[in-house]
Amino acid sequence: MPTDLTATDSAAVATAMAEAYRLERKENARLQAELEESRAELRICKAELADSNRNVGQLIDERDHLTDLLDRFAWAVAPEDVIGEHSSMNCPWQNAIDLVTPMAVVDQLREELTRLRKENDDLSVGLGIPREPVIA
């Protein structure tokens, strides 16, 4: 079997090698660009992760602060033996809220008190009973 290359064969091999080299350089350039794009995306992701970590830390701090405030509110409304401890079956915050009279009810009670005072004053005047006005 002959192994000698003819000039045509040599030229074909050189052309094939040059084409393979060109394709390899083109693929390397594409991969390099893809790598740079991935690195840029990674930098963005790292920055977003750092922001997220800061935000999570801030949320945890806010949660802890609000938990402390709600505990202090609940204990100001009633002692722990009345509102209970935190558990899966008990929420002392809700128990404290339930113990506080809603403002709408307070307003209704004040209106009723004013009406009753006026009625009492009217009755006192009608019966001739001197009465000093009650200061609310």
56 and 85 housed in the same domain: yes
CA of residue 8 relative to chain centroid, distance: 73
Identify the pLDDT of residue 1: 53
Q: 133 Cβ partners below 8 Å, 6+ apart?
A: 121
pTM score over 0.85: no
Beta carbons within 8 Å of 68's beta carbon, 6+ residues apart: none
Q: Helix H segments across the chain? A: 7-77, 80-83, 92-99, 103-127
- Structural element, H or E, at residue 3: none
| Interval 74-98 mean pLDDT | 93
* Residue 94 and residue 29 share a domain: yes
Mean per-residue pLDDT over the chain, rounded: 90
Domain presence at residue 59:
yes
Residue 87: helix, strand or coil by DSSP? strand
Position 3 pLDDT exceeds 80 = no
108 and 131 housed in the same domain: yes
